[in-house]
Amino acid sequence: MAALTQLAGPGAARTCRHPIRRPQRVGPPSGPPAGPSATGGHGAPGSGAPGPSDVLLHAEIDNPLDLIAGHQLLAEAVPAVAATAAACACGHPMCGGGEPHRTAVARVFLMERHPVASAGLRSVLASVPGLAVVGSTGDPLRAVAAVRRVRPDVILLGRGATLGDDLAAVVALRGPDGAPDARVLLLRRAESTAEASRILLAGASGCFPLDLAEDRIIGAVQLAAAGGSVFLPAPPPARHHPTGTVGHAAEPQPQQVGLTAREREVLAKLALGLSNAEIGRELALAEATVKKHLTQAMRKIGQSDRLRAALYAHRHGLAG
């Protein structure tokens, strides 16, 4: 792990307590650590362990299985550190003191055809620190030009006549003439894992209906802004078809490929949207052991990545 050190300016010690990543040295250090604490981080002086503000719950934002089961990222609150770094002027948003730092705000754009629904969403999101509604339109034909102009981080796309219409709008909104880096959430529910798969392949980050509680809507938007994906409520598993699903008739059946009981368990947990670490905790296995079982299972069932393996598990009833 990279060492946590303090920055010292010429002729004066810095009081910045934000952990700075440095390459590890080979051999003993050239001198004693500078400053009042050997850690230089937000932990207790001399303890060598990070404090609460350094410890963030790690979650696999890029785990494509989070997209299937409505798996949500959890974030621990980071305590204010202004009192411990009052004289810090490093400019990092984790450090207090010095000149005031601007808090990152996620920019949200509303593409909702119904004015009452649009006004309700704006009212809910306007009161949330860290979220700002930067524009809205009820005209799909004007939406692409609007998002190109305001460059939002998250686009909430109101329900169209069909799912196909919504997916075509996602492609246009995230195209080169729109906002390619924006995360799009559809304001509808996914009726099945097959629909969830179509939504992901179109480039959206998930969906939720407008009849959810306010705190769940806010959480979904924050999750998308953080780079995650969410389906609320979680889509029901695909029905088990013993003869295979249309378009997948040629893939091997689980009973034909020699899956072990442990490999079946790992695939079942994977299909629920769990990361390797979470599967390990559920099954009392080391994370490396989970990875080994998953790799072997994916090779046997002929699936090249986690998302395809999870969909396979749903198609063949392994998810329960």
Query: Hunting for tokens 């179109």 — which residue is that?
Result: 202
Rounded-to-integer distance, Cα 116 and Cα 113, Å: 9
pLDDT score for 82 = 35
| Residue 63 confidence (pLDDT) above 80 | no
pLDDT score for 130 = 94
112, 215: one domain: yes
Q: Which of 179, 196, 231 is the last residue of a domain?
A: 231
- Decide if 81 is inside a domain: no
- Decide if 193 is inside a domain: yes
Domain coverage including residue 286: 254-315
pLDDT score for 252 = 83
| Mean model confidence pLDDT for the chain | 73
- pLDDT tens across 150-204, in order? 999 999 999 998 999 999 999 999 999 999 999 999 999 998 888 888 898 889 9
Read off the pLDDT band of 248 (50, 70, 90).
low
Mean pLDDT of 243-256: 64
Higher-scoring residue by pLDDT: 162, 92:
162
Read off the pLDDT band of 234 (50, 70, 90).
confident
pLDDT score for 199 = 92
121, 227: one domain: yes
164, 268: one domain: no
Read off the pLDDT band of 245 (50, 70, 90).
very low
The CATH number for 311's domain is: 1.10.10.10
Higher-scoring residue by pLDDT: 136, 269:
136
Encoding tokens for residue 241? Answer: 């078809």
- pLDDT tens across 282-292, in order? 899 999 999 99
216, 281: one domain: no
Higher-scoring residue by pLDDT: 239, 44:
239
Cα diameter, the chain: 76
Rg (CA), the chain: 24
pLDDT score for 78 = 34
Indicate the range of 92-101, 110-119, 304-313 predicted with least confidence: 92-101
119, 191: one domain: yes
210, 146: one domain: yes
Higher-scoring residue by pLDDT: 296, 98:
296
Encoding tokens for residue 65? Answer: 């299985």
Read off the pLDDT band of 100 (50, 70, 90).
very low
224, 127: one domain: yes
Residue 303 · residue 313 · CB < 8 Å: no
Rounded-to-integer distance, Cα 180 and Cα 267, Å: 33
pLDDT score for 146 = 96
- Decide if 89 is inside a domain: no
- Residue 261, classed as helix, strand or coil, is helix
CA 139 to chain centre: 29
262, 161: one domain: no
126, 227: one domain: yes
- Decide if 136 is inside a domain: yes
- Decide if 258 is inside a domain: yes
Encoding tokens for residue 110? Answer: 């509303």
For 212, other C-beta atoms within 10 Å of its C-beta total: 16
Rounded-to-integer distance, Cα 39 and Cα 4, Å: 6
Encoding tokens for residue 76? Answer: 């621990």
DSSP structural state of residue 190: -
180, 140: one domain: yes
- Decide if 266 is inside a domain: yes
- Decide if 131 is inside a domain: yes
What is the tally of structural domains in the chain? Answer: 2
Q: Which helix (H) or strand (E) holds 135?
A: strand 131-137
pLDDT score for 309 = 86
3-state helix, strand, coil in the chain (%, to 5): 35, 10, 55
Read off the pLDDT band of 317 (50, 70, 90).
confident
| Residue 32 confidence (pLDDT) above 90 | no
Mean pLDDT of 263-273: 86
- Decide if 179 is inside a domain: yes
Read off the pLDDT band of 115 (50, 70, 90).
very high
Read off the pLDDT band of 269 (50, 70, 90).
confident
Q: Which of 231, 246, 280 is the last residue of a domain?
A: 231
Q: Which of 231, 263, 287 is the last residue of a domain?
A: 231
